[in-house]
């Protein structure tokens, strides 16, 4: 009998959860909250009265606060479609609504809707606490009651939180690594920066070798052709110059080879510098890209 009552209660809770997710603002929870609000307002009035809630309780507190024009503070609230569509109805509300949510909270994605501004609502996104990156931890009310790192003289509390980028990156990483395949993918992607940097270095080294080889082949080819022309000319003029053309030809070949060596070294240096510039730019672009994740 107890099991049966528990099962029935669980079914009712699941049914209400589904109704809220579907956009209903007339669930049994909402009606109960409205009756309670009527009693509290009748007894104490609206002055100095505020409403707060978390998760689906945050969705109910938002509904009550906007309907009765009460100051509201809602944490990772389950905002639904009706809250967004009906926002215009509460455009003249005097009291502000404040939504506090973590970036990847699964219960409050609709809180990002700009339409909520029509009901005097402000959304405050906060970075998650380091080490609390799982979907459940990201949604937890504990995200909004951390241990202060410092309390200032005026009572202001300082808390260390992750940046938006860190929160999103670690949240996605934690979620993906639940599955073995996802864990393997994350393992590979963690190595991607070093792999890309290595590929850039290898490419630069190969480019330098290719450039040096190309220059060397070109210089050797040029030297062979010019040397042949000098030797042929020297031999042709040898009888008329009593052999002096051979000496001059040998000197010309020697000077030509020295000039060729200088050109080869100079071109190699220029090519190396150009490749280094491109390689350096590649490393910077790679670092900048992966810093986004």
What confidence tens digit (pLDDT) does each residue in 140-184 have? 999 998 888 888 888 788 888 888 888 877 777 776 665 565 555
Residue 20 pLDDT exceeds 70: no
Burial class (CB within 10 angstroms; exposed 0-12, middle 13-18, buried 19+) of 236: exposed
The pTM (predicted TM-score) of the whole model is 0.59
Give the confidence band of 88 by pLDDT, cuts at 50, 70, 90: very high
Q: How many CB atoms lie within 10 A of CB 136?
A: 8
Res 93: pLDDT = 94
Gap between the terminal Cα atoms of the chain: 53
Tell me how many helices (H) and strands (E) the chain has: 8, 6
What confidence tens digit (pLDDT) does each residue in 187-235 have? 656 677 787 788 888 888 888 888 787 877 777 777 678 767 867 777 7
Give the separation between CA 253 and CA 251, rounded to whole angstroms: 5
Top-confidence residue, 154 or 37: 37
Residue 97 pLDDT exceeds 80: yes
Give the confidence band of 63 by pLDDT, cuts at 50, 70, 90: very high
What confidence tens digit (pLDDT) does each residue in 246-288 have? 677 677 767 767 876 777 788 788 888 888 888 888 888 877 7
3-class SS of residue 146 = coil
């Amino acid at each position: 009998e107890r099991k049966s009552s528990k099962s029935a209660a669980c079914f009712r809770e699941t049914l209400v959860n589904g109704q809220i997710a579907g956009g209903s603002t007339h669930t049994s929870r909402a009606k109960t909250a409205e009756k309670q609000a009527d009693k509290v307002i009748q007894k104490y009035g609206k002055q100095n009265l505020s409403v707060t809630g978390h998760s689906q309780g945050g969705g109910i507190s938002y509904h009550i606060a906007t309907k009765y024009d009460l100051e509201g503070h809602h944490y990772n609230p389950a905002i639904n479609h009706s809250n967004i569509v009906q926002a215009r109805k509460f455009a003249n509300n005097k009291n502000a609504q404040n939504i506090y949510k973590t970036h990847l909270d699964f219960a409050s994605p609709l809180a990002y809707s700009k339409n909520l501004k029509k009901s005097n609502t402000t959304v405050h996104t906060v970075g998650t606490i380091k080490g609390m990156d799982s979907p459940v931890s990201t949604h937890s009310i504990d995200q909004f009651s951390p241990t202060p790192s410092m309390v200032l003289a005026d009572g202001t509390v300082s808390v260390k939180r992750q940046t938006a980028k860190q929160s999103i990156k670690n949240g996605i990483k934690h979620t993906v690594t639940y599955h073995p395949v996802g864990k393997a993918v994350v393992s590979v992607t963690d190595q991607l920066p070093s792999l890309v940097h290595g590929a850039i270095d290898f490419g630069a080294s190969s480019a330098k070798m290719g450039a040096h080889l190309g220059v060397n082949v070109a210089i050797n080819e040029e030297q062979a052709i010019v040397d042949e022309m000098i030797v042929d000319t020297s031999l042709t003029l040898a009888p008329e110059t009593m052999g002096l053309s051979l000496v001059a030809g040998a000197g010309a070949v020697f000077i030509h080879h020295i000039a060729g060596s200088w050109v080869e070294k100079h071109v190699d240096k220029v090519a190396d510098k150009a490749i280094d510039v491109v390689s350096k730019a590649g490393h910077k672009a790679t670092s900048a890209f992966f810093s986004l994740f």
